[in-house]
Structure 1
Amino acid sequence: MITDIRARQSGRWAGYATAACAFLFALTSFYWGFGGTFALDTVGREAVELIEAGDPGIYFAVWFAGFVKVAGGVVALALVQPWGRKRFPHWMLMLAGWGGAAALILYGAAQIGIQLLVRAGILVPPGDMDWRGFYGHLYLWAPWFVVWGVLMAITAFHYTRGRSAQVAESVG
């Protein structure tokens, strides 16, 4: 029991950092969902045009993305808070934590990788390339996904380690 408590406490910082990252990320989506346009051009010219035109599809997309990001923050908190272990089965927390970490890291890393291939001249961009959106993804959004994913992986690791210690103590 003491090992379990120590493992959970040592990973709690990561869970809170992961949740903060997710909730801050969600705030940008909700801001854009309310019609804000500041920094939207870092996502892409088309997003700005759709928001300015009042296209319902873009509003659905940014609100949906915002709620998914909030869910990611809730998963991080569930991994480090007692209510998470009471409310969700172990397998669900493991799947959400590790699956979320893998998806976030792979998504962000793939974007960065492709964009670096463009910067290196290996891939040729279209002539009408939206460079503001390109650099927004390369330097802001894609790295944020990677950082969020790494934090989620650290959180999931501490949850897994604490759970393993708990199982070992109950067996032994």
Structure 2
Amino acid sequence: MGVVRALFALACIAGLTHAAFSAYWAAGGTWLLATAGQTMVEQFESMTWVLWIVAGIKALAAVIPLLAPDNPLIRGVSWVGGFVLVVWGGLSTVIALAVFAGVYIPKGGIDRAGMIGHAFLWDPLFVLWGVALLGALATSRPRRLRDVNEVADA
């Protein structure tokens, strides 16, 4: 497996991991639920159907770039998605780490399990997903563009 394919696969695995937990929680599972944060748990408690939608979107966002890496629309959406994952996940990770370091203290107190999840699990996993996706996109070019360049070089 080449580097590009491995990066697309790593991005897919990270995204499917996120999707799987969203689906698991939507189905009533509770393992690691506290690491999503008490506020999140309370918001979605009576709306678990939303988690099914979230799981589906995450799964599609994880799989489609792996299956259609040369499609210009998929590549464009993937570039945007990759940046959003890195920025969102990165900022959330830094904020959670700042809470642990005592640099930032939330007004409502600290949800320790939620902070652990955001600092060390879910948000870094978003960053991994985004970095792997952006890496795959940056080190690959659509087949059409490669073919044009190869003809020009011949």
TM-score band (shorter)?
Answer: 0.7 to 0.9
CA distance in 1, matches of 2:40, 2:3: 40
Matches within 5 A, 1:2-21: 9-21=2-14
Larger Rg: 1
- 1:109/1:146 contact within 8 Å kept: yes
Is this contact kept in 2: 1:15–1:79, CA < 8 A? no
1:46: Cα distance to partner? 3.2
1:55 aligns with 2:46: yes
Aligned: 1:160 with 2:141: yes
CA RMSD of aligned residues (A): 2.4
In 1, Cα distance between equivalents of 2:111 and 2:51: 20
Aligned residue identity for 1:146: V
Higher helix share: 1
1:103 aligns to 2:80 (yes or no): no
| Distance of aligned partners of 1:165 and 1:110 in 2 relative to their CA distance in 1, 3 Å threshold | same
Q: Which aligned pairs between 1:18-167 and structure 2 lie closer than 5 A? A: 18-49=11-42, 54-56=45-47, 59-80=48-69, 85=70, 88=71, 90=72, 92-160=73-141, 164-167=145-148
| Secondary structure of the corresponding residue to residue 139 of structure 2 | helix
Partners of 2:83 and 2:148 in 1: CA distance: 25
Aligned residues: 153
> CA 1:122 to 1:24, structure 2 compared with 1: closer, same or farther past 3 Å?
closer
Flag as ranges the 4+ runs of structure 1 deviating above 6 A: none
TM-score, normalisation: structure 1: 0.76
Name the amino acid aligned to 1:16: A
TM-score for both structures, normalised by structure 2: 0.84
Structure 2: 5+ residue stretches without partners = none
Aligned sequence identity (%): 28
Listed as ranges, the gaps of 5+ residues in structure 1 are: 1-7
Contact 1:79 1:159 in 2 (8 A): no
